[in-house]
Amino acid sequence: FVPNEIETNEIKSELTELYKSIFTVENMMGTMRSNNRNIRIELYRKEEYVQILNDGKIAIQGELFKIEEYLAPPKILICSKCQIPGHTRKVCKMSIDICRRCGEEKINGDKHDECLIKCHHCGGNHNATDFKCPIIIKFRQELLFRLKTDKNKLPPNIKLFIPVDCRLNGDRNRFLITNNETKSITSTQSEPPLRNPWVSNTTASNDQTNMNGIDDSINKLSNDLNEMKKKFEIEREKIRKSFDDQIKSIKQGLVIIQQQVQAQNQCFSLMSTMIKDNTSAINQITSSLITLGEAIKTKQSDESDLNKIEMSQMMINSTCSHMKNLNNAYAKYEHELQLLMNKQSMIFDSTIEKLLQNQIQNE
C-alpha cells in the first residue's frame, strides 16, 4: 500500500528515471482507503518486469514498498440477449431480448436506461450481469473449481488470479497455473538459482555437441566473410584499373590536342610572317609607282596624258592608304589573337600538369 500523500504523477516521474519502459502508473480501483491504496505499474519490456519482481521491493521517495505480480481475475461469458452466464448471444435459445436492469423484455416500450433495477436471477437491487449477484458468483466459483480439477481445459502456460470469494476454505493459493514446468515469477526471488553440480554425462555431451555446432557456424560465417572480402577486393581492383585506363585515354587525347594547338600556332605564325612580307613588298611597289609617275609627269607635255598620270597617281595613293589601314588593323588583330592563344596554352598546359601530378600521387 502506498500513502495517499504521494501523488500518482510523482510516482510515475520517479520510477520512469529507473525503468524506461514504464507506460502506465495508476491507482487500483477497490483498494482506496483513507490513508493508502494499491498502485498498478505496467511496463513494455519483460526484462524490467522480471527485474522488479525479483527485487521484491521498490523505493519511492525514500520508502520501500513491497512488489507483487498483478494478475487480472478471469472473466466469464454472459449472454447479452438473456443475461445468463455460460454462453454467448450467437448460440442463445431465448426468443426475446431481456433487459439486464429490470429483467423485462426490451421491446415493451419502456426506456430501459431509466427502468427499475431488479436482477431477474435473484431479485436483488443490482444488474443481472453484476458480479455481486449470488448466481454470477456461484457460476464463477463452479467454473474455477472445474478448471482447477481439470487444467487440461486451459491453454498451456496460463496464470490466472483466483478471487477471494472463489477460493475454498483454507485455500491460500491465489493463482491458477496450467503448466507445472513453467515457474511463476514471484517477489520472493532475491537470488539467482544455483547451478546443479551433478550434471549427467548425457547433458554434458549434448552441451558439447551444441558448442561444436556453434563453433562450426562461427567458422562458416568467418569463411563467408573472408570470401566476400576477396570478391570485393577483386571488384575494386577492376574498377580502379578501368578508371586508370580512362584517365590514360583522356591524357593521351589532351596531349594530341596540345600538339594540334601547337601546330596551328606555328601555321598561324608562318602565315602572319608571309602576310607581313607581302604587305611590305606591295608598299615598296606602290612607292616605286608613285615615284615613276612623278618622273613621267615632268617629261610629259600633253595635257591629256598629264591628266591620266594624275588620275593614276590618285588611284595609287588611295590604294596605298587602303593597304596601310588594312595592315594596321591586321597587326592589331594579330596582337590580340596572340595574347588569347598564349592564355589558352597556359591553361591547357596547367590542366595537363595537374592530371599528371594526381596520377603520380595515386600511384
Give the domain ranges of the chain.
Answer: 2-66, 71-152, 250-300+307-361
Q: Between 308 and 197, where is the model more confident?
A: 308
User: Stretch 327-336: mean pLDDT, rounded?
Assistant: 79
**Average pLDDT along the chain:** 77
Residue 115's pLDDT is 84
Site of grid cell 580512362: 246
Task: Say yes or no to pLDDT of 363 above 70.
Answer: no
Most confident stretch, 124-128, 237-241, 258-262: 124-128
Q: Between 325 and 363, where is the model more confident?
A: 325
pLDDT band at 202 (very low <50, low <70, confident <90, very high): very low
Q: Between 176 and 147, where is the model more confident?
A: 147
Share of the chain above pLDDT 70, in %: 76
User: Stretch 152-175: mean pLDDT, rounded?
Assistant: 66
Residue 268's pLDDT is 75
Residue 124's pLDDT is 92
Residue 10's pLDDT is 92
Residue 346's pLDDT is 80
Q: pTM value?
A: 0.37
pLDDT band at 203 (very low <50, low <70, confident <90, very high): very low
Least confident of 9-18, 70-79, 173-182, 272-281: 173-182
